[in-house]
Structure 1
Amino acid sequence: MDKIKSHLQAEDVFSAKEKKGLFKAIFSRRDVRGQFKPDDVPDEVLGRILNAAHHAPSVGFMQPWNFVVIKDPDIKQSVYNDFAQANREAAEMFEPLRRSAYQGFKLEGIREAPINICVTCDRERTGPVVIGRTHVETMDLYSCVCAVQNLWLAARAENIGVGWVSILHEQRLKEILDIPARIVPVAYLCLGYTDFFFNKPELEAAGWQPRLPLEQLVFTDRWGQSIDPAGGGFA
């Protein structure tokens, strides 16, 4: 077993160029829905992306995720059919003016994307008692979301777009993909090369919702206690 390093090594420090690349991936990541290209994603590229997801942090190091990689057009069509039904149901939940705007959005790329991936959570993977999950039982689900974020950022670094489709019936998705009863689907993702990435998230650009100022979201020491205005806030 490798010895645990006791001091920060030179190879552990990010260079200015590496930091710039990381923040570029974070700030230019987008939810891609309508601009997928039909080009195949090479297996070695997909492997790098999945390996990045697999290296996400997980509570108790339980690594509760699985990745169902979907390329079969018939399976994609079945998932799309469920989306279409769920999307109609969702539209009815908005008041008329918002409903009209909602119906104008393209909210998935299930059939266009060459690869779909369902990220799941096995909540029993390491037994009933897990370090760090003893008091917050949902920590394993949050760990899988970390895997999704890793996947998304790695894909962006590979110039591959990702779209998260959340307008689905969970039970129907499990039936389509033969997911066992104990397994929880966490995210259904569409992946593929894209013609372009939007400068802003589509919903922000469309005026559906603005990006909130960071200063409104950060408290000091206690909930509701704003940061010191004399400090100038965050750049």
Structure 2
Amino acid sequence: MSHQFSPADIQAVYRAIGERRDVRHFLPGAVDEAVLARLLAAAHQAPSVGMMQPWRFIRIRDAALRDSITALVEEERLATAEALGERGSEFMRLKVEGLRECGEVLVAALMDGRERHVFGRRTLPEMDLASVACAIQNMWLAARAEGLGMGWVSLFDPARLGALLGIPKGGKPVAVLCLGHVEAFYPKPMLEVEGWAERARLEDLVYLDRWDAPAPPAPPAE
């Protein structure tokens, strides 16, 4: 018995992956509550090391709080531009967040008390962060399927954002997520469109048996 999805369902999965974008441009309008519930449920179905489920999502509804988060992001944007040196002015021309326009803001955070979870983390403690990233990716793909844009903002001081949101000691914010309606999805990742960087070739990143030993070329995608 085949466990494979139907051809249409398979294509839909790959379409969502291929058309997912880190969105920065939003249209006004609230996100439907039922849709948001589905997106959070998709995130919660992500794999996690040792079934620790380290993700916590804080929904930002207070306008003043959103403004405070936006101010933290702007401070870090300026600091990042300075750290980039000669590329700083180029970076400042990029739109790096959509906090003011998006319909919904969520903060994804790591839980506190993670040190008690040893299964799968004894030698790789960062697997808790990997688990949260899986949850965010689930939400991202589901949002694309629902026709909503989502952007991951990482320009903030974690300690200051954690204090602003009352995150307990040991917890840590890792992403500010902008979610909302869009006029269109970018044809390519925005940083490619803006000329900041290009996607690396897959064949340069896949090795065989040893680091930097090129793998045989894969057959062309159908």
Contact 1:214–1:234 under 8 Å retained in 2:
no
Determine if the alignment matches structure 1 residue 21 to structure 2 residue 12: yes
Contact 1:174–1:185 under 8 Å retained in 2:
yes
Q: Deviations over 1:70-125 (max 9, x none)?
A: 122111100011111111111111233x2221110110011211111111111525
When Rg is computed on C-alpha atoms for both structures, the one with the higher figure is: 1
Corresponding residue number in structure 2 for 1:163: 151
What secondary structure does 1:185 align onto? strand
Determine if the alignment matches structure 1 residue 112 to structure 2 residue 108: no
Q: What is the identity, as a one-letter code, of the residue corresponding to 1:94?
A: L
Q: Deviations over 1:166-191 (max 9, x none)?
A: 11111111122111122111211100
The 5 A counterparts of 1:220-235 are 220-228=208-216, 231=217, 235=221
User: What is the root-mean-square deviation in Å for CA atoms of aligned residues?
Assistant: 1.6
Structure 2: gaps of 5 or more residues: none
- CA-CA distance at 1:25 after TM superposition: 0.7
Q: Distance in 2 between matches of 1:129 and 1:50?
A: 23
Contact 2:58–2:106 under 8 Å retained in 1:
yes
The 5 A counterparts of 1:47-196 are 47-96=37-86, 98-124=87-113, 128-196=116-184
How high is the sequence identity, in percent, across the aligned residues? 42
* Stretch moving more, 216-225 or 129-138: 129-138
Q: Deviations over 1:12-68 (max 9, x none)?
A: 43111011111111110111112x111111111000000000000001111111110
Corresponding residue number in structure 2 for 1:5: none
Flag as ranges the 4+ runs of structure 1 deviating above 2 A.
Answer: 231-235
- CA-CA distance at 1:211 after TM superposition: 1.2
TM-score (norm 1): 0.89
Contact 1:56–1:147 under 8 Å retained in 2:
yes
Structure 1: gaps of 5 or more residues: 1-8
